[in-house]
Amino acid sequence: MKNEVRCKACGYIMSEGRLKDVCPACGVPKTAFEPYKDTLSEKRRFILDLHIHPIVIHFPQAFASILPVLIIAGILLKGQCSDMLLSALTVLIYLLPFTVAAAIVSGLIDGKTRFKSLITIALKQKIGIAMLLLLLSVIMGIYTFINPVTTSSFAVVFVLSIACVGCEIALGQIGNKLMEPKLPG
């Protein structure tokens, strides 16, 4: 088992053998490091170190946040540029529910791995907001399928996309507080 150390200033964890004169994260002297013992089992550490959930959540975040921008650009631009933006917008709208569903699954796995339960207050809040985001993204996809995106249907899609961005922000605020906590074992 490798010996690890943690920076008391910023919390950076690294192998003791790789520590040089300063913390690679915050630059404080190596005297600010203390011995660190990981309290997670090897299996749980392996799953968390894959970083699947943080990677997967960035797809719906990117899709949701670019939708309003594409809508505004589609309104402002004319001709072929507008047509290309509408096509890109439509593809992203159709993909959004699938990326949200993948993020939900990875979030459930991450929550269960970190906290051994999905019924904590914060995790129930995240699950509820994630389900609302999924519902909004499905509604937007169905609406777009029934009413292809044109300059006349921008308003509905814009409102739905802003609501999706709001859900993403709320999820990020809760998730930011849950990044470091992990139950031991």
In a domain, 148, yes or no: yes
Instruction: Please check whether residues 118 and 165 belong to one and the same domain.
Output: yes
Q: What is the pLDDT of residue 43?
A: 83
Q: What is the pLDDT of residue 151?
A: 66
Indicate the residue type of 33: F
Helical spans, DSSP H, in 116-151: 121-146
Average pLDDT of span 68-92: 88
Instruction: Please check whether residues 71 and 117 belong to one and the same domain.
Output: yes
Instruction: Please check whether residues 48 and 138 belong to one and the same domain.
Output: yes
**How many domains would you assign to the chain?**
2
Query: Which residues form the domain of 167?
Result: 44-177
Instruction: Please check whether residues 94 and 145 belong to one and the same domain.
Output: yes
Q: What is the pLDDT of residues 103-146, one digit of tens each?
A: 999 989 888 888 888 888 989 999 999 999 999 999 999 999 99
Which pTM value belongs to this model? 0.78
Name the band, by pLDDT with cuts 50, 70 and 90, for residue 185: low
Tokens of 109: 């796995």
- Measured between alpha carbons, how far is 15 from 17 in angstroms, rounded to an integer? 5
- Find out whether 103 and 130 touch, Cβ atoms under 8 Å: yes
Instruction: Please check whether residues 154 and 172 belong to one and the same domain.
Output: yes
Average pLDDT of span 2-24: 91
In a domain, 185, yes or no: no
In a domain, 182, yes or no: no
Name the band, by pLDDT with cuts 50, 70 and 90, for residue 180: low
- Measured between alpha carbons, how far is 63 from 54 in angstroms, rounded to an integer? 15
Other Cβ atoms less than 10 A from the Cβ of 111: the count is 22
Instruction: Please check whether residues 48 and 26 belong to one and the same domain.
Output: no
Instruction: Please check whether residues 75 and 24 belong to one and the same domain.
Output: no
Instruction: Please check whether residues 23 and 75 belong to one and the same domain.
Output: no
In a domain, 83, yes or no: yes
Instruction: Please check whether residues 59 and 141 belong to one and the same domain.
Output: yes
